[in-house]
């Protein structure tokens, strides 16, 4: 699976990106537009073509200006992003960590990096869905558990070495609306999509800072710029990941004084992975699903360039990154329009083991509380019954006592009556 040439038509077919790439390598390349413009002015054949095509020279001149402006813009972008310093990488000695590298985009990126001879460490909750080459090392890691991240990073350093490249690729989405989203959904989505970036940086960045050498790639999403219905928690977590990248880039240069450390953010659109099964495929030209290999290639090419960058995919959607500056009516219309793309999407309804354990503990605790409540109710009922039985027994005892007293009174009266009869008999006999 070698890296494809920038000239090659994308795996997605003929799209708007194909046209953008063509313009970038032809009309907007001053190395081609300037000679073409000069030829239209100073060569016989060029003047003849220009004479037969009025306005051609003007369009060529505009292409020259646009190409130069684009080159200047890219020069300034690269200079500022890389702190105006260069660095070199020996890929046989570098160690790249890829989170979520067992399948999807991460798997493709791992295989491409491995083909370049780079030693790769995969951090994932599930084992790789491929036969890993000798230079790929898998470590089981529950990214939803900060303690597991800390322990796994220590294990990686001990067994493989100090990583010099970190690719925060793992992603998670539930696909619920705001009212359906639980606290557990929010906690897990933010932990996987953004909070673990902080935790991994705390473990791996100090060595990069000490050596003033390394790279951190943040795989965010176009959702960081456009929030869609049923994707609010995911979009918010990806916006947090984007903010993490931007802040990290600034702190590396100003706080940590390590200007050679590179930071890259990749904001990709809908990609054909398990995370977004059922998502609308769009019109196939302006809007279309990305192949996982397309995104993986963009990540790996950024790594191999060894420079900081901000990448949007598809390239035709780069304007979306400025959505916050668009008129409000356009922003709102775009967000509402995204609902049509979400109709058949259900998100990824799985949980990390750490989350399942926590939920189980919560349920056990809840069951224990209910059992205690039931036990208390049973105890109260038992006391009530016991009290009732005591009252009944007491009533029976009192009733029996009264009956015995009545019998005794009756017997006493009978004795007195009998005694009187005997006395009367005695008196008669005496007479």
Residue 428's pLDDT is 33
**Count of H-run helices and E-run strands, the chain:** 12, 7
Q: Which two tokens stand for residue 374?
A: 């039931």
Residue 401's pLDDT is 57
Burial code of 60-70, b = ≥16 C-beta within 10 A, e = fewer? beebbeebeee
Q: How many CB atoms lie within 10 A of CB 219?
A: 30
The values of phi and psi at residue 347, to 5°, are 75, -170
C-alpha–C-alpha distance, residues 258 and 248, integer Å: 11
Tell the residue number behind the tokens 């470590």, with chain if given: 139
Q: Is residue 316 part of a domain?
A: yes
Do 65 and 101 lie in one domain? The reply is no
Cα–Cα nearest to 412, from 360, 217, 207, 420: 420
Q: Is residue 404 part of a domain?
A: no
> Could you report the per-residue pLDDT of 272-287, keeping only the tens digit for each?
887 777 666 777 888 8
Q: What is the largest CA-CA distance in the chain?
A: 184
Mean pLDDT on 352-360: 52
CA 328 from chain center: how many Å?
28
Do 71 and 181 lie in one domain? The reply is no
Contacts of 283 (CB under 8 A, 6+ apart): none
Residue 217's pLDDT is 99
Do 315 and 249 lie in one domain? The reply is yes
**pLDDT mean across residues, the chain:** 86
**Structural domain of residue 47, as residue ranges?**
16-80
Helix (H) / strand (E) element for 97: namely strand 95-99
C-alpha–C-alpha distance, residues 350 and 221, integer Å: 20
pTM (whole model) above 0.85: no
C-alpha–C-alpha distance, residues 295 and 305, integer Å: 16
**Ranges 101-110, 341-350, 356-365, 381-390: which has the least confidence:** 356-365
C-alpha–C-alpha distance, residues 70 and 58, integer Å: 18
Residue 430's pLDDT is 35
Over pLDDT 70: what percentage of the chain? Answer: 77
Do 40 and 179 lie in one domain? The reply is no
Mean pLDDT on 88-111: 97
Q: Is the pLDDT of residue 250 over 50?
A: yes
CA angle 261, 267, 272 (to 5 degrees): 125
From 302, 321, 351, the end of a domain falls on 351
Is there a catalytic annotation at residue 130?
A: no
Is there a catalytic annotation at residue 138?
A: no
- CATH number of the domain residue 247 falls in: 3.40.50.720
User: Helices 196-211 and 232-254: crossing angle, nearest 10°?
Assistant: 20
Residue 240's pLDDT is 98
Q: How many domains, in total, are found in the chain?
A: 2
Do 95 and 121 lie in one domain? The reply is yes
Mean pLDDT on 312-325: 87
Q: Is the pLDDT of residue 91 over 60?
A: yes
Do 154 and 45 lie in one domain? The reply is no
Conformational region of residue 45, where left means phi above 0, alpha means psi within -120 to 50, and beta covers everything else: alpha
Q: Is residue 254 part of a domain?
A: yes
Residue of 37, 225, 234, 288 marked catalytic: 234
C-alpha–C-alpha distance, residues 231 and 342, integer Å: 9
C-alpha–C-alpha distance, residues 391 and 310, integer Å: 83
Q: Assign 170 to helix, strand or coil.
A: coil
Higher pLDDT, 199 or 430: 199
Q: Is residue 321 part of a domain?
A: yes
Do 54 and 153 lie in one domain? The reply is no
User: Helices 196-211 and 146-159: crossing angle, nearest 10°?
Assistant: 30
Q: Which two tokens stand for residue 426?
A: 């005695």
Do 183 and 295 lie in one domain? The reply is yes
Do 180 and 157 lie in one domain? The reply is yes
Do 62 and 107 lie in one domain? The reply is no
Residue of 108, 238, 272, 341 marked catalytic: 238
The pLDDT confidence band at residue 160, using thresholds 50, 70 and 90, is very high
Q: Assign 301 to helix, strand or coil.
A: helix
From 80, 111, 132, the end of a domain falls on 80
**What is the dihedral angle through the alpha carbons of 108, 110, 112, 113, rounded to the nearest 10 degrees?**
160
Do 214 and 76 lie in one domain? The reply is no
> Could you report the per-residue pLDDT of 19-73, keeping only the tens digit for each?
999 999 999 999 999 999 999 999 999 999 999 999 999 999 999 999 999 999 9
């Amino acid at each position: 699976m070698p890296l494809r040439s920038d000239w090659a038509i994308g795996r997605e077919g003929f799209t708007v990106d194909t046209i953008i790439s063509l313009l970038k390598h032809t009309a907007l390349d001053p190395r081609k537009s300037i000679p073409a413009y000069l030829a239209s002015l100073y060569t016989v054949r060029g003047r003849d073509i220009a004479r037969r095509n009025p306005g051609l020279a003007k369009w060529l001149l505009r292409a020259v200006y646009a190409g130069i402006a684009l080159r200047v813009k890219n020069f300034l972008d690269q200079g500022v992003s890389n702190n105006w310093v260069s660095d070199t990488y020996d890929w046989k000695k570098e160690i790249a960590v890829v989170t979520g590298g067992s399948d999807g985009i991460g798997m493709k990126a791992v295989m491409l990096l491995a083909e370049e001879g780079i030693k790769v460490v995969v951090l994932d909750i599930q084992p790789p869905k491929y036969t890993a080459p000798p230079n790929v090392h898998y470590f089981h890691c529950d990214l939803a558990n900060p303690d597991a991240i800390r322990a796994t990073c220590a294990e990686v350093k001990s067994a493989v070495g100090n990583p010099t490249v970190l690719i925060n690729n793992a992603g998670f989405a539930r696909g619920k609306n705001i009212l359906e989203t639980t606290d557990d959904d929010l906690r897990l989505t933010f932990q996987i999509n953004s909070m673990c970036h902080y935790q991994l940086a705390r473990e791996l960045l100090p060595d990069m800072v000490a050596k003033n050498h390394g790279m951190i790639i943040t795989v965010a999403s176009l959702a960081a710029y456009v929030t869609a219905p049923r994707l609010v928690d995911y979009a918010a977590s990806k916006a947090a990941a984007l903010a993490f990248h931007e802040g990290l880039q600034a702190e590396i240069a100003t706080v940590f004084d390590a200007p050679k450390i590179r930071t890259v953010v990749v904001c990709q659109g809908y990609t054909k992975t398990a995370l977004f099964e059922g998502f609308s495929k769009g019109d196939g030209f302006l809007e279309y699903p990305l192949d996982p290999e397309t995104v993986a290639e963009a990540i790996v090419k950024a790594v191999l360039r060894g420079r900081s960058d901000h990448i949007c995919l598809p390239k035709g959607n780069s304007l979306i990154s400025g959505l916050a500056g668009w008129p409000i009516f356009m922003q709102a219309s775009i967000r509402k329009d995204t609902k049509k793309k979400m109709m058949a999407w259900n998100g990824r309804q799985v949980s990390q083991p750490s989350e399942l354990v926590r939920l189980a503990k919560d349920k056990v605790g809840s069951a224990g509380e209910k059992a205690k409540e039931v036990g208390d109710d049973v105890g109260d009922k038992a006391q009530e019954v016991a009290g009732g039985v005591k009252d009944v027994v007491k009533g029976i005892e009192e009733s029996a006592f009264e009956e015995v007293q009545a019998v005794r009174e009756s017997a006493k009266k009978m004795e007195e009556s009998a005694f009187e009869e005997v006395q009367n008999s005695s008196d008669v006999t005496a007479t």
